[in-house]
Amino acid sequence: MAWFVLIALFWLLFTTRYLGGENLGYLDSKVLPQPVGEPSEAHHGVVASLANFGNGAAPGTRERIQSVRKYLDAISDGREFDSEFRPLEQGWLRGEWVLGPGANPRRRILYIHGGAFYAGSPKSHRSMTDRLSRLLDAAVFSLDYRLMPEHRRQDGIDDCRNAYRWILANGPEGAEELDFLLVAGDSAGGNLTLSTIAWARDEGLRAADAVVAFSPSTDSTLESPSWRSNLASDPMLGPGFGKLLKLPRPLLLWLQWLRDRIRPLDPRVSPLRGDLSGLPPVLVQASEAEMLFDDARRYVARAEEAGSPALLQTWPYMVHVWQIFNPELPEAEEAFANVAEFVASAVGAEDPACT
pLDDT of residue 341: 97
Please name the amino acid found at residue 328: E
Q: What is the pTM of this model?
A: 0.92
Burial status of residue 188 (CB atoms within 10 A of its CB: 0-12, 13-18, 19 or more):
buried
Question: Active site residue: 83, 270, 320, 331, which one?
Answer: 320
Question: Active site residue: 76, 142, 187, 226, which one?
Answer: 187
Strands, sheet with 138-143, edge to edge from the N-terminal-most edge strand: 84-90, 93-99, 138-143, 104-112, 180-186, 210-214, 282-287, 310-315
- Reported as type and span, the H/E element at residue 295 is helix 293-305
Catalytic (active site) residue 187: yes
Q: Do residues 172 and 202 touch, judged by C-beta distance below 8 A?
A: no
pLDDT digits (tens, 9 = 90+) for 217-251: 999 999 999 999 999 999 999 988 888 888 888 88
- Can you name the residues that pair with 140 across neighbouring β-strands? 98, 109
Please name the amino acid found at residue 167: I
Question: Active site residue: 290, 304, 308, 331, which one?
Answer: 290
pLDDT digits (tens, 9 = 90+) for 166-224: 999 999 999 999 999 999 999 999 999 999 999 999 999 999 999 999 999 999 999 99
- How confident is the model over 280-292, as a mean pLDDT? 97
Q: Tell me the CA distances in angstroms from 29 to 145, 184, 274, 320, 343, one per residue in order.
A: 35, 26, 20, 22, 27
Q: What percent of the chain has pLDDT over 90?
A: 71
Q: Tell me the CA distances in angstroms from 150 to 76, 147, 173, one per residue in order.
A: 24, 6, 31
Please name the amino acid found at residue 9: L
Catalytic (active site) residue 270: no
Catalytic (active site) residue 217: no
- Rounded to an integer, what distance in angstroms lies between the CA atom of residue 338 and that of residue 344? 10
- Reported as type and span, the H/E element at residue 247 is none
- Rounded to an integer, what distance in angstroms lies between the CA atom of residue 244 and that of residue 59? 8
Q: Tell me the CA distances in angstroms from 259 to 119, 188, 206, 306, 355, one per residue in order.
A: 16, 15, 32, 31, 43
pLDDT of residue 244: 86
**Preceding peptide of 248 cis, ω within 30°:** no
Helix (H, G, I), strand (E, B) or coil at 173: coil
